[in-house]
Structure 1
Amino acid sequence: MPEVTAVNTAVIGGGAAGLWAGCLLRDRNAGFIVLERGNECGRKLLLTGHGRCNITNNKSPSELRGCYHEAGNFVYPALCGFTPSDACEFISGKLGVPLKTEENDRVFPVSDKASDIRDAMVRFIGSDHIKTGFECVKIERSEDGFNITPKDGDTVSAKHVILACGGAGYPRTGSDGSGFELASSLGHTIAEPKAALAAINTCGDFCRELSGVSVDGVSLSLFCGGRKTASASGTVLFTHQGISGPAAMELSREIPSDPGSDTYIEADFVPSLTDKILADEISGKNSHKFVNLLAERMPRSLAAAIVCDDELYCRDVRSEMRKAVVKKIKMFRFDVTEAPSTATAYVTRGGVILKELNRSSYESKLVKGLHIIGENTDVDGISGGFNLAFAASSAFLAVKDILS
């Protein structure tokens, strides 16, 4: 007969939010255990920041507020309760991992290794407070709190539960949406999970031929049904299937589930120049090779793909061709072929709806003693460390409430 392990707090999920909850509980010498279904914690954390771990963003809470789409007001108390500065102080001071702040206030470990953050969190929590290979299949209310039943092994009894199973993005790392099913089984309403930060597939060979090339400072606009529905600016990365990078991924959450032929993204590769200034610049550099002139404004490979003739001089560019090239540079069209997949999304939108949670504690309004944090909730932020900032802040409020 399976035994029962009794703890004060069970954290279900050993991803970013779960590890933060574990660290904060350990810091207070609380009785707890982190239950992770995989054979190690923080697998998705290792992917963040292209393996460098963009652990947070050092903007002030008031600046962060606008980085979470519709959820900004809901997450604001959490961001004030445990600020990015607090998170950085904890990581550098208590976990012993030196940090650095880069462009746009993004914070990384000095080593540029995501594993340094993950490993330090696991060490701080301690192996006696982590149980891997624990696939939770059922959470039931009990007289003293909750009984947590795994697929195999011993049941865990806990007075409090922190649900931190992540979203539905990159399921091979463990975040396969199972946390939504657990929350639903306890009566919670789940907003449909969709990709929120994901690469976008487009048609044609243009992107495939430029695969691996990145372009900074691009302005993107998403058009659906003949109208502009969203915009983003930043770096765009060409892939074999389409476009990625922070700007493209930010738009991915707005692409409809069934995009038609009228769903496309328009790119302005040099937003700092008007059409006229760009055309005049081409006209005024007669002795320059056309591709060399454009390469002053963008990667040479992109310029060559737009011009299609490396030997063409600006003096030979006729008016109609000049207009066509300017249009390509200022209004390049990427036709979207399909909705981004949660299978390759770094972050998903959707999850436990926010009106069923207390924003000062992340405790369920439906089930006393149940706290739901991180990507398990219907909160998603833009690219740049904002989702990991929310993971830390929501974990802090949940732990604070449990230990108060």
Structure 2
Amino acid sequence: MVRQPYLLALALGTALTIPAFAQDSADAPEPIAPETLTVKETIDPGPNVISNAQSWDGAGAFQVWSAEDLTYKGNLTTGSMSQMLISPDGATAYGQSTYMKRITHGDIEHVLEIYDVATLSITSEIALPTKAAMVAAYTPYLAMNAAGTLVYVQNATPATSVTVVDVAAGEVVQEVPTPGCFGVYPTLEGNGFSTACGDGSFASFDLGEDGSEMSRSSSEPVFDPDENPIFIAGKRIGEALAFITYNGDLITLDDSGEAIALLDMVSITDGVDEDWAPGGYDLFAYSPTADILFVAMHADPYDGSHKNASEEIWAYDVSEDTVLYRTHVEGVISLSATDEEAPKLYAVNEHEGTLEIFSSDPDAKFVLKHETSTDSRGWATVVSVAQ
């Protein structure tokens, strides 16, 4: 075979230039310095906001953010369909999670996990009966007694009951049957709790110091479950237990006695020309110092629109029974407010998958001003201010 001279020359030239190039140390890249990885012992100091980014097909997370500007601090890993509870001092988080061995079928585990927020770590876990409600996250599905010694877990198999957990002993105390009732609303003192029932009444349970059941009582119906049901999220307004109904009524209850008693029922939509109603999940928040209730509202309600995200957030003066201001805010489904004269409002935006801060102006009837948002971090229905 006859080689073409120019091809031979090209091959020789290439072969000769490669070693010459490789030996030119001036053109060689600098060696890569090894990266040193460190782990912060604790998250940055300061008040936090914690949201429950619930997952239904794997691990979820409690996401921890700075309450000042929503800087992301880290997360507490949970299982599937988690429920979240934050201690009053914000130092401890409790998570009830489901762990599914094969995701779609097979064995499951239910646990109560206890977290140290500062170090973003699990400190202990307590095995639960496999009866916990596997539903979207709401505040009354995981609750604590006033002393912080007992945790209550909402069950649904679909029969309803409440698992009582002694967190110091790390063990389940008992299961309290609550047929036809849902949600756990602890009393301000002692170990009792109430639960909302399907006939419009409330059942109340008084527990002993060790969590054993002492007595049960039932109230008269306080709402109409067919025409005007309540949203399951309950909040405190002073010492009263408060609920919002689908039609926009604010119901306050006295749960300090043997049985719950109705204190008052007022409509926050009276005098409004258009047709508006509350909507969302944890859809209202109360700021005690300001005495203002913030409620997520949507226009043109219909049967089934009770989970619709907000078109406005209303600032309602509880003492004066007056809507002070209606701020246009789209996409909000859950709210939490700080306790100060000019409350901050933390909101879950379902449309954007974000957490948002709004400031309020008491001199302008508590109009809201958007301050900042997080980036999109999944789907949440509960946000808690951990001051």
Higher helix share: 1
Normalising by the smaller structure, the TM-score range is under 0.3
Task: State the structure with more CA Rg.
Answer: 2
Compare relative contact order (CA 8 Å, sep 6+) and give the higher one, 1 or 2.
1
Higher share of residues assigned strand? 2
TM-score (norm 1): 0.22
TM-score, length of structure 2 as denominator length: 0.22
